[in-house]
């Protein structure tokens, strides 16, 4: 059950796990070399994600993590990236997905009104298209080292956005929980 105290604790763990995953992602490929500058592109991050309500943040992050896990499960650059950090990153993402699954399964049926359902569907579709652009880019570049470096930099940016989104949402939840508690005892 995804009660408010459990969500609060999960929020703290999610922020910490996101930070750890960001570090594994940074370390796995090294620095973005000058030779790779020609291999960059605008993947068009779906900024609609930043507009979701705190009720829907968990669902959006869950969807994003699933696509990230799929992305890092195939055609990785051989010999140039740290296998140890790739595995740590994959394990961290997988653990976050498993932890979020319970809450997501509870939250999806709650999106009863058509607007809330539309928001979830739109953001989910935006995330799917975003990752399709990334997959297509890698395929077009024949999964080259430089194309993976570009994707690595893109996903670090995404994790920074999610870190900010999670912190904002987490603090709003804590603030509203504390406020609600004081209103009840008064």
Q: Where are the alpha helices (DSSP H) in 72-113?
A: 83-110
Q: Which long-range contacts (CB under 8 A, 24 or more apart) does 100-103 make?
A: 100/10, 100/14, 100/58, 100/61, 100/62, 100/65, 101/62, 102/1, 102/2, 103/2, 103/7, 103/10, 103/58
Which domains can be identified in the chain, with CATH numbers? Answer: 4-29+41-185 (1.20.1250.10)
What DSSP state is assigned to residue 113?
S
The predicted model gives 67-94 an average pLDDT of 87
pLDDT of residue 49: 76
Average pLDDT of the chain is 77
pTM: 0.79
Mind listing the pLDDT tens digit for each residue in 30-61?
667 788 888 888 898 888 777 776 667 778 88
Residue whose structure tokens are 């796990």: 17
C-alpha span between 1 and 95 (Å, rounded): 18
Q: Is the pLDDT at 165 greater than 60, yes or no?
A: yes
Q: Is the pLDDT at 23 greater than 70, yes or no?
A: yes
Mind listing the pLDDT tens digit for each residue in 95-107?
988 888 877 777 6
Q: Does 68 or 110 have the greater pLDDT score?
A: 68
Q: Is the pLDDT at 111 greater than 70, yes or no?
A: no
Q: Does 90 or 79 have the greater pLDDT score?
A: 90
Q: Does 56 or 147 have the greater pLDDT score?
A: 147
- Going by pLDDT thresholds of 50, 70 and 90, the confidence category of residue 183 is very low
- Going by pLDDT thresholds of 50, 70 and 90, the confidence category of residue 185 is very low
Both tokens assigned to 97: 């997905």
């Amino acid at each position: 059950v995804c009660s408010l105290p459990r969500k609060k604790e999960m929020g703290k763990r999610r922020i910490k796990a996101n930070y750890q995953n960001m570090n594994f992602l940074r370390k796995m490929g090294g620095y973005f070399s000058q030779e790779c500058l020609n291999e960059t592109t605008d993947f068009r991050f779906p900024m609609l994600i930043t507009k979701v309500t705190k009720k829907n943040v968990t669902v959006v992050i869950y969807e994003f993590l699933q696509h990230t896990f799929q992305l890092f499960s195939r055609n990785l650059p051989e010999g140039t990236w740290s296998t140890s950090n790739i595995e740590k990153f994959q394990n961290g993402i997988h653990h976050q997905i498993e932890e979020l699954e319970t809450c997501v399964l509870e939250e999806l049926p709650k999106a009863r009104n058509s607007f809330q359902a539309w928001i979830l569907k739109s953001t989910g579709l935006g995330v799917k298209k975003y990752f399709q652009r990334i997959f297509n880019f890698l395929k077009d570049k024949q999964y080259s080292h430089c194309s993976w470096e570009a994707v690595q930099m893109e996903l670090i940016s995404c994790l920074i956005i999610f870190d900010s989104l999670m912190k904002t949402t987490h603090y709003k939840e804590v603030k509203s929980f504390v406020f609600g508690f004081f209103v009840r005892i008064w």
